[in-house]
């Protein structure tokens, strides 16, 4: 019994260590952070302050390559759910919020190559 418990504990610790090197940004976090941007991304106009707060928050969270790749994939996934999304407004959103990101916001961006 003690050997089985040690083995189980070892497996759990290994899974935790492996999981800790993966991206920490979830698509739920991306979607909730950018929810205030939906109207702007479809209709233009003035960027709402809560939208820029979300963009800034996500940029601050995405500090590693896996985080940036995950954020990119989540952005592309979220973009599919925004009715009437204007791709040029999406591409320009970081700049409108005073944020610089190391890859273009585009459905054609290969997120696996984001560094």
Q: Which domains does the chain have, with CATH numbers?
A: 27-107 (1.10.110.10)
Helix axes 27-34, 49-61, angle to 10 degrees: 150
pLDDT at 102: 85
- Residue 5 clears pLDDT 80, i.e. is over it: no
Whether residue 7 is predicted with pLDDT greater than 50 in this model: the reply is no
Distance CA 41, CA 87 (A): 8
pLDDT at 22: 53
Helices 65-79 and 49-61: crossing angle in degrees, nearest 10, is 140
pLDDT at 19 over 80: no
In the predicted model, what is the mean pLDDT of residues 58-64? Answer: 93
Runs of H (alpha helix) within the chain: 2-20, 27-34, 38-43, 49-61, 65-79, 87-96
């Amino acid at each position: 019994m003690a050997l089985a418990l040690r083995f189980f504990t070892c497996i759990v610790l290994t899974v935790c260590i492996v999981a800790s090197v993966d991206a920490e940004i979830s698509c739920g976090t991306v979607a909730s952070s950018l929810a205030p941007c939906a109207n702007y991304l479809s209709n233009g106009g003035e960027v709402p302050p809560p939208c820029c707060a979300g963009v800034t928050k996500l940029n601050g969270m995405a500090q590693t390559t896996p985080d940036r790749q995950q954020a990119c994939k989540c952005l592309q996934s979220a973009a599919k759910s925004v009715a009437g999304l204007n791709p040029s407004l999406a591409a320009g959103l970081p700049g409108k919020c005073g944020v610089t990101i190391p890859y273009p916001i585009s459905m054609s961006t290969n997120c696996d190559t984001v560094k």
